[in-house]
Structure 1
Amino acid sequence: MKEFVISEVKAETAVLVGLITQEQNEAKTKEYLDELEFLADTAGAVTVKRFTQRVGGPSAVTYVGKGKLEEIKNFIKLKEDEEEPIGMVIFDDELSAKQLRNIENELGIKILDRTSLILDIFAMRAQTANAKTQVELAQYRYMLPRLQRLWTHLERQGGGSGSGGGKGSVGLRGPGETQLEMDRRIILQRMSLLKQRLVEIDKQKITQRKNRGRLIRVALVGYTNVGKSTIMNLLAKSEVFAENKLFATLDTTVRKVVVENLPFLLADTVGFIRKLPTDLVDSFKSTLDEVREADLLLHIVDISHPDFEEQIQVVNQTLTDLDSSEKPMMIVFNKIDNYHWLEKEPDDLTPPTKENTSLNELKKTWMAREADNCLFISAKQRENIEEFRSTLYKKVRELHVQKYPYNDFLYDIEQ
């Protein structure tokens, strides 16, 4: 009897590239590359080396200088004969078509930038027709200005969907039209179709939201991988997919939650991230309508992350872009069980930093700033969850009385 041996598929190896500039110091570049490595890991790639260069700004031709590009090229050649040669080089900023073309010509292997990597992850994570449509539209928006580099026969992808693709598209070719022009036209047709689909999906979602009744809407917002889905599962007693990967959740999930006999709707939304591609923000506006229509935002923060304060700023800026920054909000610091700090010596007079500030000191600082709109929990270890439920109940009840002052439901609760 013949035995079948299942060989393990090896992950692709990657090299990361970032810049140190006046606006982005070495420490900040390291943090950004840490996140880029996490993105690469989420996409299934293993990072083997990082390259950084201290410059005034990115080169318009090759992003990094010629010397640094030669250094990267030599490293790739050095690894060619090894068991795991370098499969791709990932840059921590969005690259122009010119930069992509020049870098590929020089290095001769697959080149990704931060935007295309995030788009790849979104494409992997998309489950529903809504998310898939939004991701595809964002991919085409990214692809369009880079067509000269890609130059591919896209009509094969667009066939059968009413987009003008397939064999029938050849008959539409005008006199003297180049392959590049035809591909551009096919993409524009496809984008038009996808936009129409999103309009139809939006109409369906508006109808769904209207049918939800007179309930307060609460939306979980925050940086990616801060534990929103875990909190959703805890409050709603549901099974929303939660994983220690970036963008584990793409589709907005809405559940009815009851705390102390008071029902409300809880929505888990897609996580935000620094340098989030504009095309993705535009494409996912319909998904983020749950944020716009929410009565209360629960801003979940991973307090164990060394750069949580910047993550808060990124989320706040995104909320401003969505015209949702003035909504009632609670900050919920999650993962207190993972918070680590180095205790200062009694005679240490150096200013407090993130590394030597205790959790109690942080609590005092943030609670003084946010008053009663601030909580510290561990969703995983279920620490302070009862306090969280109680505070949430008071907030929702207060909003319910304001929005539906004559609702008989609350009268029943009082009885």
Structure 2
Amino acid sequence: MTQGFERDRGEFARGARCIVVLPDQGGSNRDSDARLDETAGLALAIGVEVVDRVHLRVRAPKPATLIGSGQVEQLATSVRQHEAQLAVFDAALTPVQQRNLETALEAKVIDRTGLILEIFGERAATAEGRLQVELAHLDYQAGRLVRSWTHLERQRGGFGFLGGPGETQIEADRRLIRDRMARLRRELEQVSRTRGLHRERRQRAPWPVIALVGYTNAGKSTLFNKLTGADVMAEDLLFATLDPTLRRIDLPGIDQAILSDTVGFVSDLPTQLVAAFKATLEEVVSADLLIHVRDIAHPDSEAQRADVEQVLEELGVGEGTPRFEAWNKLDLLDAERRDELLAEAERRDDVVAISALTGEGVDGLMEQVATKLTAGHRRYRIELDAADGAGAAWLHAHGEVVEQTVEDSRAVYEVRLAPADYDRFMQRQAAT
């Protein structure tokens, strides 16, 4: 990270007192209280103390501050009363608006994008995750140098790589950021190529890939742990999982599959992060089946579903990828609402109602996964060398062998397979 960026982050620390602000510009289908709760949860995820929540109606956004002058004064009063060092705006702020609000409130101000980037910066555990977060951070920060760097009006003379005579500090700093971003993109391209090789190897090894997707804190990691016996971080915390985790699981009638736990999505996910995490989310793009885990007890569950579908569309996940919804957190519903949802899920073939925490409905989920993966199986005629026991075992494990005969010392199988499994088998044969 650049020195200026580190200075900017250092203006508030863990444990800082924070007010959360929702500038409501209308036109949203979201519950305002639920939105404030989510933003407060995001703020808590970076270790600050939320001391006030403020819902402001904005009829005409102001270019200088987004909100009106009276609302600015209302926030300044709240900052003083609560001795807050930080104000988190659940909105996108321009650099000018951010700077003006910081001056008026006499407190650090960050917007929704900056907040999510802070969380990702703390949570990224792998080298790849840290590269992705740094790239997204630099992309966001490059447009805000005028706000956050105090030394930018100075000029310096040229000393080779430091820049030519008369180059301003801000120009040099932007150039350094561009160079750093170019290096990060090259490193991430290498990561993507390596991941692609691993994916090809998995496809030759014949297991279908199932990806868990969903809104942050929907319970994906809890379900992942329940299905795999793994110990992935699963807490009541937004963005508890950033780096993808892969495990083998056993499925009825399919032998084995690979289950992938992915980063949770969120409304207004910064475009910088969608781009930076594309390499990680390639597991979703190439999956054989998507399980969309929904927090069905959340008041904005339907809006969260729409947000997830939008991000999937941005990633290029087409309607052709089989998918269904796991309506999670049945254990949090009252009896009447629970009975309604169970009845609706029973009527639909694209929904399974579960509680990943208690395990209710998880066996039915596994049966649904197996059914989805075997839907569309076709009948193929496959000839093998009679001595190819491994190939025969593969066909029995991953398909339904309808008929088996021997012709001229060749074993001939009539077998039902998914087209993707047939392709995997042919790749396996070509590699042996």
Give the 5 Å matches for 1:180-329: 180-212=170-202, 213-260=205-252, 262-326=255-319, 327-329=321-323
Tell me the amino acid that sits aligned with residue 360 of structure 1. D
1:48-59 pair list within 5 angstroms = 48-59=51-62
- Offset at residue 199 of structure 1 (A): 0.4
Q: Deviations over 1:62-119 (max 9, x none)?
A: 121111111211232334xxxxx21201100111111011111212211111111110
The C-alpha deviation readout for 1:32-62, integer Å capped at 9, x for no partner, is: 1110001011111121112222222432111
- Provide the secondary structure at the position in 1 that maps to 2:143: helix
In 1, are the aligned partners of 2:113 and 2:270 still within 8 Å (CA)?
yes
Structure 2 counterpart of 1:48, which letter?
Answer: V
Q: Which residue number corresponds to residue 393 of structure 1? A: 370
Alpha carbons of structure 1 residues 176 and 35: separation in structure 2 relative to 1, 3 Å: same
Distance in 2 separating the partners of 1:405 and 1:191: 51
Residue number in structure 1 paired with 2:135:
137
What TM-score do the two structures reach when normalised by structure 1?
A: 0.83
Give the CA deviation at 1:214: 2.2
Percent identity (aligned)? 39
Partner amino acid for 1:205?
R
- Paired with 1:72 and 1:405, the residues of 2 have a C-alpha distance of 72
Q: CA deviation at 1:169?
A: 8.2
Secondary structure at 2:325's aligned position in 1? strand
Change (3 A) 1:402 1:149: farther
Query: Matched residue of 1:286: which SS?
Result: helix
Taking the aligned partners of 1:388 and 1:109, their CA distance within structure 2 comes to 49
CA 170–14 in structure 1, closer or farther in 2 if over 3 Å, else same: farther
Residue 111 (structure 1) aligns with: 109
Q: Is the 8 A contact 1:227 1:379 kept in 2?
A: yes
Aligned counterpart in structure 2 of residue 364 of structure 1, from 337, 340, 343: 343
My pick for the range that moved more, 308-317 or 51-60, is 51-60
What per-residue deviation string (whole Å, max 9, x for no partner) do you get for residues 257-291 of structure 1? 11236111111111000111111111111111011
> Residues 110, 403 of structure 1: CA spacing in aligned structure 2 closer, same or farther, 3 A cutoff?
farther
Q: Secondary structure at the match of 1:288?
A: helix
Tell me the TM-score normalised to structure 2 length.
0.80
Alignment match of 1:338 (pick from 332, 349, 355): 332
Unaligned runs of 5+ in 1: 1-8, 80-84, 155-167, 344-357
Higher Cα radius of gyration: 2
State the SS of the aligned residue for 1:142.
helix
In the alignment, the residues of structure 1 paired with residue 54 and residue 207 of structure 2 have an alpha-carbon distance, to the nearest angstrom, of 52
Deviations 1:309-360 (A, max 9, x none): 111111111111122141110111111011137x6xxxxxxxxxxxxxx222
Partner Cα distance (1:392, 1:111) in 2: 45
Shift of 1:217: 1.1
Q: Which residue identity is paired with 2:338? A: L
Shift of 1:150: 1.3
Distance 1:135 1:174, change over 3 A: same
CA–CA distance in structure 1, aligned partners of residues 360 and 183 of structure 2: 48
| 2:361 matched residue in structure 1 | 384
Instruction: Give the distance between the partners of 1:46 and 1:133, measured in 2 at CA.
Output: 28
Compute the displacement of 1:230 (Å): 1.3
Q: How much is the aligned-residue C-alpha RMSD, in angstroms?
A: 2.4
User: What amino acid maps onto 1:359 in structure 2?
Assistant: R
Q: How far apart, in 2, do the equivalents of 1:22 and 1:110 lie? A: 26
Corresponding letter in the other structure for 1:115:
T
Aligned length: 370
What amino acid sits opposite 2:178 in the alignment? L
Query: Does structure 2 conserve the Cα–Cα contact (< 8 Å) formed by 1:214 and 1:404?
Result: no
- After TM superposition, the structure 1 stretch with the greater mean CA deviation from structure 2, 236-245 or 219-228, is 236-245
Any gaps of 5 or more consecutive residues in structure 2? 1-12, 153-157, 383-390, 402-432
